[in-house]
């Protein structure tokens, strides 16, 4: 009955194609995020091994990467809690219709940030 009320209030019925497209966008963004997170983790490990032997530039890069990894971890945990409905302030509320879209966009943004950092490290390493 609550679902009928929310459908009536929104006035917009989502088509099957739109739902499938949204799910695919979310799945691709999630997969890309996991791939980039793994690359970020490898870059951090590599810089940690060489940080003692090299300049403060490497240490600065390492610090930026560690902050990005922590931020990414925090965002991912928030998204997971949001999807599971375990967040205290949302415990009785079902998922919002645009939730997958918002999560996909946030993951895409994180992917761009990680790419930018990894490219800057690759560029410095090649120089």
pTM score: 0.69
Is 1 in contact with 78 (CB distance < 8 Å)? no
Residue 109 located in a structural domain: yes
Distance CA 81, CA 61 (A): 30
Read off the pLDDT of residues 60-86 as tens digits, 9 standing for 90 and up. 888 999 999 999 998 888 888 877 766
pLDDT attached to residue 52: 67
Distance CA 62, CA 24 (A): 33
Read off the pLDDT of residues 45-57 as tens digits, 9 standing for 90 and up. 888 887 666 667 6
Structurally, the chain folds into a number of domains equal to 1
The CATH number of the domain holding residue 85 is: 1.20.1270
Range of the domain at 119: 22-89+97-126
Residue 108 located in a structural domain: yes
Residue 50 located in a structural domain: yes
């Amino acid at each position: 009955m609550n679902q009928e009320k929310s459908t009536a209030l929104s006035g917009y019925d989502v088509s099957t194609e739109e739902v499938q497209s949204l799910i695919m966008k979310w799945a691709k963004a999630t997969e890309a995020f996991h791939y980039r997170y793994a690359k970020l983790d490898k870059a951090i490990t590599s810089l940690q091994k060489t940080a003692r032997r090299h300049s403060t530039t490497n240490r600065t890069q390492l610090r930026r990467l560690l902050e990005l990894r922590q931020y990414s971890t925090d965002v991912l945990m928030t998204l997971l809690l949001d999807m599971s409905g375990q967040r205290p302030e949302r415990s009785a509320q079902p998922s919002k219709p645009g939730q997958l879209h918002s999560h996909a966009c946030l993951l895409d943004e994180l992917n761009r940030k990680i790419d930018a950092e990894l490219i800057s490290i690759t560029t410095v390493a090649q120089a």
